[in-house]
Chains A and B, each alone.
Chain A
Amino acid sequence: SQKIEQNSEALNIQEGKTATLTCNYTNYSPAYLQWYRQDPGRGPVFLLLIRENEKEKRKERLKVTFDTTLKQSLFHITASQPADSATYLCALEASSASKIIFGSGTRLSIRP
């Protein structure tokens, strides 16, 4: 069955450093992968979508890579700020399309 793992439940880093979050998947090949941000008490907010034929995508301080050989996506936040503290969720298109499957999330804390 399809499995998606975000390796770190929590990640603490110093302000100004680059935060790198990992998303691994097994047993299928999604056509695309997404990253969302969720703040406490709020719904997830879409950040980036990367397709299988794209190696990398950027949006301001955010960068996402998609390695279909390793079955892995990396999500980077450069020049991290305390305001970047949140839970970040990766989501993959399910093999039976029309839906996406979410990972369990990584709680990122940026300390000043």
Chain B
Amino acid sequence: DTAVSQTPKYLVTQMGNDKSIKCEQNLGHDTMYWYKQDSKKFLKIMFSYNNKELIINETVPNRFSPKSPDKAHLNLHINSLELGDSAVYFCASSQVKGETQYFGPGTRLLVL
């Protein structure tokens, strides 16, 4: 009955590789988000989609590309991974844009 799920939970990879993180929500929400939480636990928004349309695109390197095949899914693809990309990435969804967010369990990315 998981509301927001992410795969994989852990991702360890080499610098320069390309990887994807998947997110799915079964709450029927129209808006989905990707957040990055760094080692200092600061949670920062990266992208937001509303009904498959990109509505927020923060200052994020072009190597990060979100894709929303339908409103229940928001995937994150990262090209040419760098050491500084190591962090926990959270997917979230909300019924109303910007309001109460429901978070996934996070994907712990470690770039070696």
Using a CB–CB cutoff of 8 Å, the interface residues on chain A facing chain B are 32, 34, 36, 38, 41-46, 49, 87, 89, 91, 93-94, 97-102, 104-105
Cα separation A104 to B43 with both chains bound (whole Å):
7
Q: B92's contact among A32, A34, A43, A104, by CB below 8 Å, is which?
A: A43
The 7 A-B residue pairs whose C-beta atoms are closest, nearest first, are A43-B103, A102-B43, A98-B97, A98-B98, A46-B100, A44-B103, A43-B90
- B98, A99: Cβ atoms closer than 8 Å: yes
Cα separation A105 to B101 with both chains bound (whole Å):
16
Cα separation A52 to B33 with both chains bound (whole Å):
24
**Within the complex, what minimum Cβ distance (angstroms) separates A111 from chain B?**
21
Cα separation A98 to B90 with both chains bound (whole Å):
17
Cα separation A36 to B103 with both chains bound (whole Å):
10
**Neighbouring B residues of A32 by C-beta, 8 Å:** 99
Q: A99's contact among B4, B40, B45, B106, by CB below 8 Å, is which?
A: B45
**Within the complex, what minimum Cβ distance (angstroms) separates B24 from chain A?**
14
Cα separation A32 to B50 with both chains bound (whole Å):
20
**Neighbouring A residues of B48 by C-beta, 8 Å:** 98-99
- B98, A93: Cβ atoms closer than 8 Å: yes
**Within the complex, what minimum Cβ distance (angstroms) separates B60 from chain A?**
13
**Neighbouring A residues of B92 by C-beta, 8 Å:** 43
**Neighbouring B residues of A99 by C-beta, 8 Å:** 33, 45, 48, 56, 97-98
**Neighbouring B residues of A94 by C-beta, 8 Å:** 98
- B100, A105: Cβ atoms closer than 8 Å: no
Q: Show 15 residue pairs from A and B whose CB-CB distance is below 8 angstroms, ordered by the A residue.
A: A34-B99, A34-B100, A38-B41, A42-B106, A43-B92, A44-B43, A46-B100, A49-B99, A91-B101, A97-B98, A99-B48, A99-B97, A99-B98, A104-B41, A105-B43
| Seed contacts A93-B98, A100-B99; 16 additional CB < 8 Å A-B pairs | A34-B100, A38-B41, A41-B106, A43-B90, A44-B90, A46-B102, A49-B100, A87-B41, A97-B97, A98-B31, A98-B55, A99-B48, A102-B42, A104-B40, A104-B41, A104-B42
**Within the complex, what minimum Cβ distance (angstroms) separates B95 from chain A?**
11
